[in-house]
Structure 1
């Protein structure tokens, strides 16, 4: 009795063999897991920094004509931030801003000014105490120099308004960027070299001699790459959480959302890998073609530092890149607690990039 050939079993066999080969490839392991972990460890062990610098902002209604403000605005250790109220509130919640200072004239005239601080629960208590000490020291120096025999010119309110907040650690910015770095590298370089070598070494030609159809060949190889990279993503996120307190706001729900987003990002980036594997004439031309797509994104997509450090015209170009939107969505989901649905704009741009890349890949794809 003739047994019907199983395309699914053949595809799974290809997947298993390809996955095993990927784990045995030093370059795949280093680029997908090694490099991102090295960056995470380096930035993680750097900590939050120990230099004396306190970020503060002035309340928009504050009196800035008094001698207190004139002095504190020139203290090197105080860095004054000027942003809209909504962004200041966001910085407070993340612990990026120590306090918003409000200096007002006292209706009772004694003391002449009242200083009130607004902070958040994400702020380290020692940073807040340091700011209060600086303000009290400034007030004391003004009293001694100008009003030695008069009541104090100002008083710092001992009660600090605190809004809810979570500490935004360095790892909360770095890890999503490194995960994006890993996925982009694997999706482009991994797929490009894989399918180029399959053609060059006539492996695809040998597959054609079997009953398995072409779509199942591609699926089998692609699934092995996806499985390997998803394992790498779990390792990267796991080390971030266990070793450096990487924030997963909603626990396992956030983790699942991050894995789904990682899967989408990898599939999109693999599209360019398919393009490179077909336009490259030989193995030495793969890196230049691949770097045309990957290198600008490593630098301009918020992988190592925010894109806000760039001039406005360059930020516009940064926001055209798919990795920028992947990184934004990753950080919003992990720290802000956003859902995949609420990140529809970032995900939608990723999908559009995927449609464009695969449309080109289908046009240029060659089997031999």
Structure 2
């Protein structure tokens, strides 16, 4: 009596063969590893360089009926932003996303040292911005003094208050976005091209001649992609951490939670690849279809910049994208010390997108 056919061993054989094929593909290596690493290296080396630009919050109960306020509003590079939530304000202060909080108080008539007191609150996370913003603020006051009082009296006294916090580096924002985009683009393009090619070359049809079930074929090919992309994630995180001090706040525990989050994201993003492989009628159609999904998220899902810098009408679109929620969860886990249980909303949205993607994929996926 012949031995019973082992579906699991057959799946592992497909996984092994597919994984070898991935490693032999130059495009897979370039787009999965070297392409995102180029951005990480660039942003890692340039840090926070660029022209002077300051995002400043006007403190509550500030006096705005004065020349100081109007001069600062007209100063190039100074942008005043509003926050409705104090917790969000403090979070962005601690991350260096805003330069600081500026509050202008009018002094009593009995105080002849200055007409106004300017309280400036910031953190060491914005040390590079504060180092140039405070001289700009002082120059603004000096210019008003010379024009109004001929330098004999000061219109304002500046009182800085810089709080010590953990440093938030550019790489702490950039690397999660690059990792997310690497996982998404490689999953979508890889799965779409792979299964379209297997169908066109009648490889799937040849598999039918063997006892292996269809589900194990998909699992075997998909597992090879997951293993390769998780190895890519390890390389990206290791380079970011050891070369540019990318923050892993709880060490190995944070790393393991990032890998679990990456695994979930990979499964979700692969669903879009299955959709494209099912609806594409030629290989030339795959790149445009894949770019329709990946390019908007690359630009709008907080990969390079916080979505708060986008126009208000665009922000709801950005917040609807699955990559946005992966990026948010990654940054919370790696820097803020959150755990997977604290990111239940982001994970739930990712899984929701996965349910939608695989629901559509089941309808359009073709075996022949």
| Alignment correspondent of 2:345 | 345
Seen in structure 2, the aligned counterparts of structure 1 residues 39 and 355 have a Cα distance that, compared at 3 Å, is same
Q: Is the 8 A contact 1:98 1:128 kept in 2?
A: yes
- Name the CA distance, whole Å, in 2 between partners of 1:304 and 1:337: 21
Seen in structure 2, the aligned counterparts of structure 1 residues 285 and 146 have a Cα distance that, compared at 3 Å, is closer
- How is 1:199-210 mapped onto 2 (pairs within 5 angstroms)? 199-210=199-210
| Alignment correspondent of 1:248 | 248
Q: Which runs of 5+ in 2 are unaligned?
A: none
Seen in structure 2, the aligned counterparts of structure 1 residues 5 and 39 have a Cα distance that, compared at 3 Å, is same
| Alignment correspondent of 2:334 | 334
Deviations 1:77-98 (A, max 9, x none): 5443333362432332112333
For residue 126 of structure 2, the aligned residue among 123, 127, 130 is 123
Seen in structure 2, the aligned counterparts of structure 1 residues 100 and 2 have a Cα distance that, compared at 3 Å, is same
| Alignment correspondent of 1:295 | 295
Say yes or no: does 1:56 pair with 2:76: no
Runs of 4+ in 1 over 6 A off after TM superposition: none
- How is 1:16-35 mapped onto 2 (pairs within 5 angstroms)? 16-35=16-35
C-alpha displacement of 1:20: 0.9
C-alpha displacement of 1:142: 4.3
Deviations 1:45-100 (A, max 9, x none): 33211534444333122223344434444333544333336243233211233332
| Alignment correspondent of 2:157 | 155
Say yes or no: does 1:182 pair with 2:185: no
TM-score (norm 2): 0.88
Seen in structure 2, the aligned counterparts of structure 1 residues 246 and 355 have a Cα distance that, compared at 3 Å, is same
| Alignment correspondent of 2:259 | 259
Q: State the superposition RMSD in angstroms.
A: 2.6
C-alpha displacement of 1:286: 2.2
| Alignment correspondent of 1:110 | 112
- Name the CA distance, whole Å, in 2 between partners of 1:324 and 1:282: 30
- Name the CA distance, whole Å, in 2 between partners of 1:142 and 1:309: 31
| Alignment correspondent of 2:135 | 133
Q: Which runs of 5+ in 1 are unaligned?
A: none
- Name the CA distance, whole Å, in 2 between partners of 1:301 and 1:143: 45
Residue 344 of structure 1 aligns to a residue in which SS? helix
Count of aligned pairs between the two proteins: 365
Q: Is the 8 A contact 2:142 2:151 kept in 1?
A: no
| Alignment correspondent of 2:307 | 307
Deviations 1:243-284 (A, max 9, x none): 222222332222222211111111111112122222222322
